[in-house]
Homo-oligomer: A and B are copies of this chain.
Amino acid sequence: MDHSIEQASDSFSEGIGQLFQSWGLQKSMGSVFALLYLKEGPTSLEDIAAGLSMSKGNVSLNIREAERLGLVSKIWLKGDRRDYYEAEDNLWKIVRRVSRERQKREFDFAVETVKESLESLPPKNKDNEVVFARKRLKNLDSFLKSVNRMVNSVLSLETLRGATVNCPVLKHIPRKKRAVTE
């Protein structure tokens, strides 16, 4: 370990890249975000590419998605036609945004799958296997709905604040961490 900030930034980018990957996001997006997160002030697309030894094209692609997800924001400096970027500082905001995104894609899809499967089951059939399958699908359906409500509740935690005092789930989370706004 040789205590250069480039060194630290490199291994950090790598680590966050892996973390992103396990979250179903692009590894490169993680690297880009990590670089920006440690760097104060606006950074140009080409500086990012250079700093990560990554092609401009890839940075362009990933940073656009990152911007859409609210991980970074584009900044215009007048008199400069380059695009500059900054990392979002509020990590709760990021989590909420990404979670909502995934929830929309994955949860709705799952509900749809269950619904279609239920419909394509032979109707009014008294076969044991059909009855059993239907029971399980119903169970899955209500499970998904509960998860949905639960996720929604957790994701909108910032609206709770005053109420959370009585909630054992959250009691030990520092208040200032909870008081975030979208």
Contacts and interface: CB of A to CB of B under 8 A. Distances in A.
A42 to B, nearest CB: 13
Contact of A133 (B8, B146, B166): B8
A interface residue count range (under 10 / 10 to 19 / 20 to 34 / 35 or more) = 35 or more
Nearest to A151: B154
A157 to B, nearest CB: 7
Contact of A1 (B38, B92, B120): B120
A164 B123 CA distance: 39
At the interface, is chain A mostly helix, strand, loop or mixed?
helix
Interface string A111-134: 011101111111100011110110
A164 B163 CA distance: 13
14 contacts: A3-B122, A11-B116, A15-B109, A15-B110, A19-B113, A22-B24, A89-B139, A146-B173, A146-B174, A150-B154, A150-B170, A153-B172, A164-B168, A167-B168
Interface of A: 1-5, 7-9, 11-12, 15-16, 18-19, 22-24, 37-40, 89, 91-92, 95, 102, 105-106, 109-110, 112-114, 116-123, 127-130, 132-133, 136-137, 139-140, 142-143, 146-147, 149-150, 153-154, 157, 160, 163-164, 166-170, 172-174, 177
